[in-house]
Amino acid sequence: MSTLPDNERPDHEHTYMRWDGWGDPARAHGLPGGVKLLLAAVLGRTPKAPPAPRLAEVTISSPPLADDDLAALAKAVGEDHVDTGHDVRLLHAGGKSTPDLLRRRQAEQAAPGAVVLPASEDEVAAVLAVAVERGLAVVPFGGGTAVTGGLEPDAGPHRGVVSLDLRRLSGLVSFDELTHEATFLAGTTAPTAETFLAERGFELGHFPQSFEFATLGGFAAMRSSGQNSAGYGRFDAMVTGLRVVTPTGTLDLGRAPGSAAGPDLLRWFLGSEGTFGVITQVRLRIHPTPEARLFDAWTFGSFAAGAEALRGVAQLGTGPTVIRLSDEDETAVSLAQVGNIGKALTQGCSAVVLHEGPAELAAARREATGRVLREAGGEPADAKLAASWDHGRFKAPYLRDALLAHGVFCETLETATTWSNLHALKKAVTAALAGGFAEERAKNRVLCHISHVYPTGASLYFTVIAGLGAEPLEPWERVKSRVNDAIMAAGGTISHHHGVGSDHAPWLEQEIGSAGIRMLRAAQAELDPAGIMNPGALVPRAAQC
């Protein structure tokens, strides 16, 4: 194992995303012609939304932190790394869900009182000590891509909010070629981690759609799942060790690849969403860069037939890296995006499959998967569909900005359940989404896909599009609440990979029971007795009183 010198630890790896949309403003684009046609057919005329205010025009509703708070924080991290600038505070005002983006269009917005950028674990500990002493809430900020309200500048019972931006805590700490493990500082973005590993002939293989901006600490804190999860598992399955700084001490977890030394405390911190402490280092299982990458596209007569085929693959364990199935409506929209709208209604459901690894092994796995898919009624399709999915997979979030500009509301949500319950859950969520919008008098279309499979079940990922309307936030909150009730009633999880945040917090007790909530609160009370850590997320602190 090698421990790397300081020059392997890049300062300030990633730049800020567009403040009121996704990603790099230079890569924003308009709507493809096929999508415009489809939208007109499905939603009718959607009046364009009024233009959003410019960043400089927005009023911040909460004042910056007081001078003595700022002086104490400056002592912890250096004066240059405490920022109360208007624009920087607004860049840390929330995540990137569609409601977040709609809130960015308001003339007055809440924002943290200061943005603080520590560069070491000691500095993180020093910031937490200042926050405890001075009664300030701390919201850890990784890539800022959260979609369930986990970055809200919610002070809880405290005087103000510090956004703890982890971008300076970035870089490779150690690399163990023999064990296939690498340790990174938690603020390292996914592309930076992959670059470090590629230079050494390795890969992590965690590719969520937010890949280009999210951080390893954020993935661990949210129990993220990437598009290659069939092959390499969810992010929590990749984590072999963590260092976490809490207000009452530091933990170093994950001593051996297997252990019976009591309950697995490491797992407690995966999904803790910044409410137990700050993850400062993440040790990860890695694999050699795949020699072969074999993409295939398949079609099925129906979503039910396709789901049966995916179940067969997951239960036999033929080993695809990616396997995803779009339902009929999502297949039609995907085809529209590649300009193939004429064929949309005759295509049934499309699936994308990727096998990778050593060339011979990848080819053998591909053949085994192909046999299962064919026996379940699948037909090989033009591999260009798979290539176009691969090519466009990180561009899709830009499409949402183009839709909003076109007057179209577009949001996603996800859940998971067993194979036996999959279709009942899909039906219940689709009805709650479509029916909810219909009650709000908006035409809509609900799309769905399976993108994460397990031997015992799968996730369902929904996209809903509807006319934006004059006041889109409140109707959506009613629809989303109805959908969450439907997920609970139909036996799904409140989240397969987006996490709980503040948006799903009211439903968590239904999923884990009151004893489960008491366990989380007990851990919070022990690690963070002053309740400063992200008080609005997971199990809101106000509810503890």
Nearer to ligand FAD, 215 or 350 (CB): 215
| CA pair distance 348, 404, nearest whole angstrom | 28
Q: Could you give the string, one character per residue 67-106, with x where binding to ligand FAD holds by CB under 6 A and - elsewhere?
A: ----------------------------xx----------
Q: Judged by CB under 6 A, which of 205, 217, 290, 535 binds ligand FAD?
A: 217
Nearer to ligand FAD, 181 or 273 (CB): 273
Q: According to the binding rule CB under 6 A, does residue 119 interact with ligand FAD?
A: no
| Main-chain dihedrals φ then ψ at residue 393, nearest 5 degrees | -65, -25
| DSSP-based helix, strand, coil % in the chain, nearest 5 | 40, 20, 40
Nearer to ligand FAD, 206 or 311 (CB): 206
Closest CA to 93 of 75, 108, 77: 108
80 exposure class (CB count in 10 Å sphere: 0-12, 13-18, 19+): exposed
CB of 224 to ligand FAD, least distance (A): 3
The two beta strands, 108-109 and 59-60, are parallel
Structure tokens at 436: 């909810």
Alpha helices by DSSP H, listed for 165-302, are 190-198, 216-222, 229-232, 235-238, 265-269
CB of 192 to ligand FAD, least distance (A): 12
Would you call 390 helix, strand, or coil by DSSP?
A: helix
Q: Could you give the string, one character per residue 3-42, with x where binding to ligand FAD holds by CB under 6 A and - elsewhere?
A: -------------------x--------------------
Within a 10 A sphere around the Cβ of 30, how many other Cβ atoms? 13
- The length of the chain is 545
Nearer to ligand FAD, 101 or 197 (CB): 101
- Residues 40 to 69 in contact with ligand FAD, rule: CB under 6 A: none
Strand partners, 223: none
Q: Give the Cα-Cα-Cα angle 332, 338, 339 (nearest 5 degrees).
A: 85
Q: Judged by CB under 6 A, which of 77, 139, 309, 486 binds ligand FAD?
A: 139
Within a 10 A sphere around the Cβ of 361, how many other Cβ atoms? 15
Q: Judged by CB under 6 A, which of 70, 128, 147, 270 binds ligand FAD?
A: 147
CB of 96 to ligand FAD, least distance (A): 4
| CA pair distance 138, 118, nearest whole angstrom | 13
Closest CA to 175 of 208, 144, 198, 151: 198
CA–chain centroid gap for 391, Å, is 20
Nearer to ligand FAD, 274 or 378 (CB): 274
Nearer to ligand FAD, 128 or 166 (CB): 166
Q: According to the binding rule CB under 6 A, does residue 231 interact with ligand FAD?
A: no
Total site size for ligand FAD, rule CB under 6 A:
39
Nearer to ligand FAD, 76 or 151 (CB): 151
Residue 363, CA atoms < 13 Å, CB-side half-sphere? 3
* Torsion on CA atoms 280, 90, 222, 201, rounded to nearest 10: -60
CB of 499 to ligand FAD, least distance (A): 6
Q: Judged by CB under 6 A, which of 21, 94, 142, 472 binds ligand FAD?
A: 142
- Residues 435 to 474 in contact with ligand FAD, rule: CB under 6 A: none
- Residues 171 to 210 in contact with ligand FAD, rule: CB under 6 A: 186, 208-210
Exposed e or buried b per residue across 373-408, where buried means at least 16 C-beta atoms within 10 angstroms of its C-beta: beebbbeebeeebbebbeeebbeebbbbbbbbbbbb
Q: According to the binding rule CB under 6 A, does residue 141 interact with ligand FAD?
A: yes
* Torsion on CA atoms 385, 28, 497, 91, rounded to nearest 10: 170
Nearer to ligand FAD, 31 or 368 (CB): 31
Q: According to the binding rule CB under 6 A, does residue 219 interact with ligand FAD?
A: yes
CB of 189 to ligand FAD, least distance (A): 8
Q: In what order do the strands lie in the sheet with 172-176?
A: 2-3, 172-176, 181-185, 278-285, 239-246, 249-253
Q: Report the residue number whose CB is nearest to ligand FAD.
A: 218
CB of 235 to ligand FAD, least distance (A): 7
191 exposure class (CB count in 10 Å sphere: 0-12, 13-18, 19+): middle
CB of 12 to ligand FAD, least distance (A): 15
Q: Judged by CB under 6 A, which of 72, 126, 185, 278 binds ligand FAD?
A: 278
Q: Judged by CB under 6 A, which of 183, 188, 224, 337 binds ligand FAD?
A: 224
- Residues 516 to 535 in contact with ligand FAD, rule: CB under 6 A: 534
CB of 185 to ligand FAD, least distance (A): 9
| CA pair distance 536, 514, nearest whole angstrom | 18
Closest CA to 442 of 37, 46, 51, 103: 46
Q: Judged by CB under 6 A, which of 222, 314, 322, 527 binds ligand FAD?
A: 222
Q: According to the binding rule CB under 6 A, does residue 281 interact with ligand FAD?
A: no
Q: According to the binding rule CB under 6 A, does residue 332 interact with ligand FAD?
A: no
| CA pair distance 476, 92, nearest whole angstrom | 23
CB of 436 to ligand FAD, least distance (A): 22
Binding site for ligand FAD (CB under 6 A): 22, 95-96, 139-147, 150-151, 166, 186, 208-210, 214-215, 217-219, 221-222, 224-226, 273-274, 278-279, 397, 497-499, 534, 537
